[in-house]
Structure 1
C-alpha cells in the first residue's frame, strides 16, 4: 500500500516438544537456513537465528502482510515437517504447542542479534526456564505456570 511504512521487530522463541535435545549440530545450520528461507518467502527479514538442541531463537523484521502468529505457525509446521522428511532423527520431531514473541525497537536490534548469536555461551550460564521467565517478566507478560513450556531443568 502506498505511503505505508513500518518497522516491526519480533523475537520468536520455539521449544522442542518435551524439551528433548533433538536439534543436532549435524543439521542445525541447515535447519536455520531452511527457516530463514521460510521467513524470506513470506517477505520478512531474518536478522538472527540460532537453534539450540532444545529451543530456537529468531529475530525477524516483520512485514505486516502476515501476523506474528501466522508466521510462527508457518515456521513451526514447515520446519518440523522438513526435519521429519529429511530423516535426521530416528524419532518424530515436533515443536511444543505455543511460542514466545517479543517486540523490540530499532535501537535494541543489535543487542538482540548479539544475544541470539551468543546462545551457546548464554545457555551455559542460565537455564532455559530462567531465560524464558526472564523474558516474560521483562516484557510484563502475565502467564500461568501450568501453561508455560515443559521445563525439565
Structure 2
C-alpha cells in the first residue's frame, strides 16, 4: 500500500540582505556570479528551491521555496557564511567583505511569488530607472553607525 504524505507546504519567501553599512562591496560581475552561484548551491543543499537571485553592489535579493523544517535564521546564517567566505577568498586578504547582520523576509502568495521573481530578475533595471518597490528594498540598517570589524 502506498504511503500518503500528510503535509503539503509551499513556503515561498523573498529575502533581502545587505553588505556591511551598505558599502558597494559586490563590485565586479565575476564576484557577483560567484556569490549568486554559491548562494544558490547552498540553498539547494539545505533543501530549498531557488526561484530567482539578483541584487546590486550593496545588497542581495533571493526568492526561494524553503522546507518547513528549516528556520529563516539558519538559512540566512548558512547563506551569508558560505558566500562571505567565497568573497573573501576571491578578493584576497587585502580586501574587506562582510554582510550586515540583519535581513528582511517577506512571505509570498503564489500571485506575489511571480511578481517577486520578475522584480528580482530586473534588479539592475529597477535601480537605474528608480522604479523600486520600497517595501521589498527595506532592510534593517543595524550597522550604519557601528565600527567596521577588524
TM-score category, normalised to shorter length? 0.7 to 0.9
- The alpha carbon displacement at 1:125 in A equals 3.3
More helix by share: 1
For the pair 1:148 / 2:138, whether they are aligned, the reply is: no
For the pair 1:112 / 2:123, whether they are aligned, the reply is: no
Cα distance in structure 2, aligned partners of 1:126 and 1:89: 35
- The answer on whether the counterparts of 1:9 and 1:60 sit within 8 Å (CA) in structure 2 is yes
Per-residue deviation, residues 64-94 of structure 1 (Å, max 9, x unmatched) = 1211111011111111111112236842210
Partner of 1:121: 125
Gaps of 5+ in 1: 138-142
Q: 1:75 to 1:9 in 2, by over 3 A?
A: same
For the pair 1:3 / 2:22, whether they are aligned, the reply is: no
Q: Which has the larger radius of gyration?
A: 2
Cα distance in structure 1, aligned partners of 2:37 and 2:92: 15
Per-residue deviation, residues 10-59 of structure 1 (Å, max 9, x unmatched) = 11001000211111222211210110000000011000000311100000
Cα distance in structure 1, aligned partners of 2:16 and 2:58: 11
Gaps of 5+ in 2: 145-150
Partner of 1:94: 98
TM (normalized to structure 2)?
0.82
Q: Alignment RMSD, CA only?
A: 2.6
Cα distance in structure 2, aligned partners of 1:78 and 1:9: 22
2:77 alignment partner, one of 49, 73, 77: 73
Cα distance in structure 2, aligned partners of 1:35 and 1:43: 13
* Number of residue pairs aligned between Structure 1 and Structure 2: 140
TM (normalized to structure 1)?
0.80
